[in-house]
Each structure stands twice: as structure tokens, then as C-alpha cells.
A and B are shown apart, each in its own frame.
Chain A
Amino acid sequence: MSELFEIWVYLAERPLVWLTVTVLVYWAAHRLYLQCNELALLNPVLIAVVVLVGILIATDTEYGTYFEGAQFVHFLLGPATVALAVPLYGQAHRLRKMGLPLGVALIAGSVTAVVSALGIGWLLGLEADVLRSLMPKSVTTPVAMGISEKIGGLPSLTAVLVILTGITGAVLAMPLLHLLGYGPEDATAKGFALGVSAHGIGTARAFQHSEEAGAFAGLGMGLNALLTALLVPLVDALIVAL
């Protein structure tokens, strides 16, 4: 028994354990999701994060130790973002025709995401630094953290809010769109809405729907990163001026 414990103490400090655990837990969460007919609440990212947080607490492991292993998975986010160009190119013939509708929908969605978070948060009594951390929540983590820092928010809090926004979008967007009457054939609008409002996690959810939805989600995510980086400092300056 104590020998086993020693092996654990050794392994727990190596990257291999937490890398393996991350992939295994995600694999199991994904299988569960498929077996339960893709029930929205069983979103694989949500379940995997909850289970892993539980494991880290139970084994008294620091996030830094965990991340030494998990960083190998985390690193792939960069090349995967670049790879989004491939499905996007597959939709290139449609992009040309859809430029104006996409542009207007992007602006409408981006402004809604920023202003509604600010407005509802302010009504519910959140403090200024939390509100500033909240405004860029719909864009991909590195951009959101940069914006938050620029306007005096808390970048690390922003990172958490970004991930929670992504999970919220991945879990609730499809049921909402279904309620609004969007069917399987509306992959373009559903995908674009997921990418604009819930960045990469929304894009991952859109890819589970179809490659077309994923392509438009990737486009929405990329464009909204650009727009939000311009929009949020402007909104912040406006509010300070008022």
C-alpha cells in the first residue's frame, strides 16, 4: 500500500499523469454525451471540467501541477485555430454572397454581448472592476484578457468568465435556437451565432452539429475577436465620459 502511495507521489508530479487523466476524462465525458442522445446539459467540456476539478480537489493537487501535464493539450489550441481556415475555405463560395448579412449580424451580436453583460451586471450591483472584466467575455481567451487589462479589468477573472460563457453557449444556444424555430438546415445562422457569442467552445459545439456550422462559427469567432477589441475600449470610454 505504501509502495503504491510512493508511486502515486512520484507520478503525480510528472506531466504524464495529468495529461492522461485529462484525455481519459474528456473521452469518457464525450462517450456519455453520445450515449445520452447528445443531451445539452451533458456537454463534454462542462462534464470534463467538473470531474477534473473534483479530482484535483480530492487529490489536493494545485492547478499549476495539473497544467504542467495538461499544457500539451492546451497548446494545440493555436494550430487548431489556424486549421479553422480549412472548413472556412470550404464555404468560400458562399461567403462572397453573404458578406453584408454576416457583417451586420456580427455587429448586432457583438454589441448585444458587450452591452447586455454590462447592463445586466450593473443592474445586479456588480462592481466596476468586475464589470470591466465581464465586457469582453464573448471572445477567445487571449484577446479577452488583453482587452480586460487595457480597460482596467482583472485579466485572470476575465479568463474564467470567458470559459463559463463558452460553456453556457455550448449548453444553451442550440436549445434556444430550436425554440426560435431553427432546424437542422439552418447550419449557417446557428454556427455563426455560436461563434460570435461563445468563441471557441461554441465553435467546438457547432462542429458537433456539422462542418458547415463549424466553419461559420470559426468565422464568427475570428471576426468578433477583432470587433470586440475595438468596441469594448470605446464603450468603456463612453461610460467614463458619462
Chain B
Amino acid sequence: MIGTIALLLGFQLAGEVAVRMLGLPVPGPVAGMLMLFVALAIRRAVPEEVATVANGLLAHLALLFVPAGVGIIAHTGRLEGIWPILLVVLIASTLMAVAVTAVTLSALRRLQRRGGS
């Protein structure tokens, strides 16, 4: 388990360094994710321990967003008066993005399958 934790932290650190050095507009952990993906693709297998720890961590991904979510308490002043409008915008915009992404993806895949067969 410690080995995998070191691996994940190492790739996060490598991601942070790469992002800073190259001036990329992505967060370090996302760059670290891409680097680990490439490393796994080169190795052509996921070590069992890495799979266990990674999946264990991801099974409770939702918990990790709770502290940031509670941060809303520090912004009540700024949200006063405009929060009903913001909620309408967020709900409408998010639902539109979900629908457009899913419908585009499945329509193109249907086309692809039809073309392939």
C-alpha cells in the first residue's frame, strides 16, 4: 500500500513540476494522471496492489469534495440577492451540457458502428 501511495504522490509531484516548467493551463494532478496513464500503457499492465489502492481511493471520491463544498459558508455575503438566478443558470447550463455531450457521443458512435459493419 505504501508503495502505491508513494507512486501516486510521485506522479502528482511530477505533474506539478511539468505544469510549472511548461506553463500549461492544467492542474498538476491532471498532468500526473496523464503521465501515469502513459506509464501503465508502456508497462501494459496494472500491478495488483496499484489497482486495489487506486480503486479503494476512487470508491470514496465523493467524500473528498465535502471540505471544499462546505466553503460555500464563507461566501454567503457575495451570493445574497443573486443566488436564485445563479441556481437557475447552473441547473439549466449543466443539464444542457450533460444532454449535448451524451447525445453527441452516442449519435457519433451509432454512425461509426453503422459505417464499420
Q: Mark B51-78, 1 if CB is under 8 A from A, else 0.
A: 1011101110111111111111111001
Contact residue among A44, A85, A120, A160 (Cβ-Cβ distance under 8 Å from B75): A160
Contact residue among B68, B72, B92 (Cβ-Cβ distance under 8 Å from A120): B92
A45 to chain B, nearest CB (A): 5
Which residues of the partner chain A approach B85 to less than 8 Å between Cβ atoms?
121, 124-126
A-side binding surface: helix, strand, loop or mixed?
A: helix
Given A85-B40, A116-B92, A116-B93, decide whether A198 and B70 contact each other with a Cβ distance below 8 A. Answer: no
A101 to chain B, nearest CB (A): 4
What is the CA–CA distance of A168 and B26 in the complex, to the nearest angstrom? 23
**Which of A66-93 touch B at CB < 8 Å?**
66-67, 70-71, 73-74, 76-90, 92
A152 to chain B, nearest CB (A): 16
Q: Report the interface size class on chain B.
A: 35 or more
Nearest CB to that of B11 among chain A residues? A82
Given A83-B8, A85-B40, A89-B37, decide whether A189 and B102 contact each other with a Cβ distance below 8 A. Answer: yes
Contact yes or no, B90 A164, CB < 8 A = yes
A220 within 8 Å of B by Cβ? Answer: yes
Contact residue among A79, A194, A221 (Cβ-Cβ distance under 8 Å from B98): A194
Contact residue among B46, B79, B88, B101 (Cβ-Cβ distance under 8 Å from A105): B101
Contact yes or no, B108 A104, CB < 8 A = yes
Contact yes or no, A89 B46, CB < 8 A = yes
Contact yes or no, B29 A81, CB < 8 A = yes
Contact yes or no, B30 A140, CB < 8 A = yes
Contact yes or no, A81 B26, CB < 8 A = no
B-side binding surface: helix, strand, loop or mixed?
A: helix
Contact residue among B53, B88, B94 (Cβ-Cβ distance under 8 Å from A113): B94
Contact yes or no, A204 B102, CB < 8 A = no
What is the CA–CA distance of A48 and B68 in the complex, to the nearest angstrom? 11
B3 within 8 Å of A by Cβ? Answer: no
A148 within 8 Å of B by Cβ? Answer: no
Count of chain A residues with Cβ under 8 Å from any Cβ of B?
113
Which residues of the partner chain B approach A44 to less than 8 Å between Cβ atoms?
62-63
What is the CA–CA distance of A113 and B90 in the complex, to the nearest angstrom? 9
Which residues of the partner chain B approach A208 to less than 8 Å between Cβ atoms?
62
Given A81-B32, A169-B94, A196-B101, decide whether A22 and B75 contact each other with a Cβ distance below 8 A. Answer: no
What is the CA–CA distance of A85 and B67 in the complex, to the nearest angstrom? 24
Contact yes or no, B34 A74, CB < 8 A = no
A residues engaging B (CB < 8 A)? 22-23, 25-26, 30, 44-45, 48-49, 52-53, 56-57, 63, 66-67, 70-71, 73-74, 76-90, 92, 97-98, 100-102, 104-106, 108-110, 112-113, 116-117, 120-121, 124-126, 130, 134, 137-138, 140-143, 146-147, 154, 156-157, 159-161, 163-170, 172-173, 176-177, 180, 182, 186, 188-190, 192-194, 196-198, 200-201, 203-205, 207-208, 211, 214, 218, 220-222, 225-226, 229-230
B residues engaging A (CB < 8 A)? 5, 8-9, 11-12, 15, 25-30, 32-34, 36-37, 40-41, 46, 50-51, 53-55, 57-59, 61-75, 78-79, 82, 85-106, 108-109, 112
